[in-house]
Amino acid sequence: METLLPIFVAAVRSGTPILYATLGEILTEKAGVMNLGLEGIMLMGALSGFAASLWGGSPLIGLAAAFAVGACLGLIHAFLSVTLGSNQVVCGLAMTMFGGGASALAGRSYIGMTIPGLDSWSIPVISKLPVIGRIFFSQDIMVYASFALVFLMMFFLHRTRPGMNLRAAGDNPKAADAMGLPVAGIRYLYTVIGAGLVALGGAYMSVVYNKFWAEGMTAGRGWIAVAMVIFAIWNPLQAALGAYLFGGVETFQLRLQAAGARVPAPLLMMLPYLMTILVLLFISAGKGHKVSLSAPAALGIPFYREERE
């Protein structure tokens, strides 16, 4: 146990960026919009978080800036997919390319710099709990915030009025509209907030986890988050499970590399991606029925009121 414990601790940290991105995408998809540009948004979040921490002198400023930048990118996606009804798959690809390129260009002068970043802070008393204390409560505030977010989102989606409206917009926009809900407004709002959360995930990587910026540093985590949304069957709690599973595999392979394992590094680095495919296969093959029932019925379909069939 003692040897495994540090792996678990690191798994939570390494899963946190994925968790933020997955939660953000769940919010967006529940409202009926599919945003596949997570990779690009995370990169922009990572860069802006790093740059703002550097200039603002505080990691919190960095995180806030990342959220704001993500929200702006979300606004672009919302305009194209909600107002103009564009193909959301292609739009997401465009976002991935744009985010990747723009972060590389704007981040060229930050390469090689480091920031103090966000330190960990153990929660008094409960961090002393055996095992659990170390794994979950001796982390940093962004990790704690992600725990809170998971439960808040569960509560928000199923117990509150705006949460119900959100689900209605994603499941039956026509009905939501007929009951006087501003479907487009709802979809805009949660695409924007969702993208903000996605960007926070990216910023976690540069501000908290690595404390530096590197081109393409998310290395596919945005896409993995898209997969985790399906794995989680759009349930925030299960999203946490998926994210930490990824974090576990990631940590495991990093430790193996560091320990000088016989297996060559590139093969170890495949593991998280392989795991993503396997996890997706597991959920699609095993609970395919549940996946199709839980998927927001109008996901990815634009809605216009005055369109007659």
> Interface with another protein includes 104 (CB under 8 A)?
yes
- Of 165-204, binders to another protein (CB under 8 A) are 165, 167-168, 171-172, 174-182
| 3-class state of residue 212 by DSSP | strand
Contact between 119 and 125 (Cβ < 8 Å): no
> Interface with another protein includes 262 (CB under 8 A)?
no
Cα(284)–Cα(166) distance, integer angstroms: 25
- Of 264-293, binders to another protein (CB under 8 A) are 264, 266-267, 269-270, 273-274, 276-277, 280-281, 284-285, 288-289, 291-293
- The single residue among 2, 112, 161, 262 that binds another protein, judged by CB under 8 A, is 161
Burial class (CB in 10 A: 0-12, 13-18, 19+), 274: exposed
Tell me how far, at minimum, the Cβ of 248 lies from another protein, in Å: 17
> Interface with another protein includes 55 (CB under 8 A)?
no
Q: Which residues pair with 114 in a beta bridge?
A: 212
Residue number with CB closer to another protein (138 or 251): 251
Cα(81)–Cα(223) distance, integer angstroms: 19
Cα(185)–Cα(199) distance, integer angstroms: 21
Please choose, out of 2-10, 77-85, 125-133, 206-214, the segment that lies near another protein by the rule CB under 8 A.
77-85
DSSP for 212-239, please give it: B--TTTTTTHHHHHHHHHHHTTT-HHHH
Residue number with CB closer to another protein (143 or 279): 279
Q: Which residues pair with 212 in a beta bridge?
A: 114
> Interface with another protein includes 85 (CB under 8 A)?
yes
Cα(114)–Cα(202) distance, integer angstroms: 16
Residue number with CB closer to another protein (23 or 176): 176
Cα(144)–Cα(118) distance, integer angstroms: 13
Residue number with CB closer to another protein (60 or 291): 291
Query: In this structure, what token pair is assigned to residue 229?
Result: 């949304």
Please choose, out of 17-25, 94-102, 128-136, 201-209, the segment that lies near another protein by the rule CB under 8 A.
94-102
> Interface with another protein includes 261 (CB under 8 A)?
no
Residue number with CB closer to another protein (128 or 174): 174
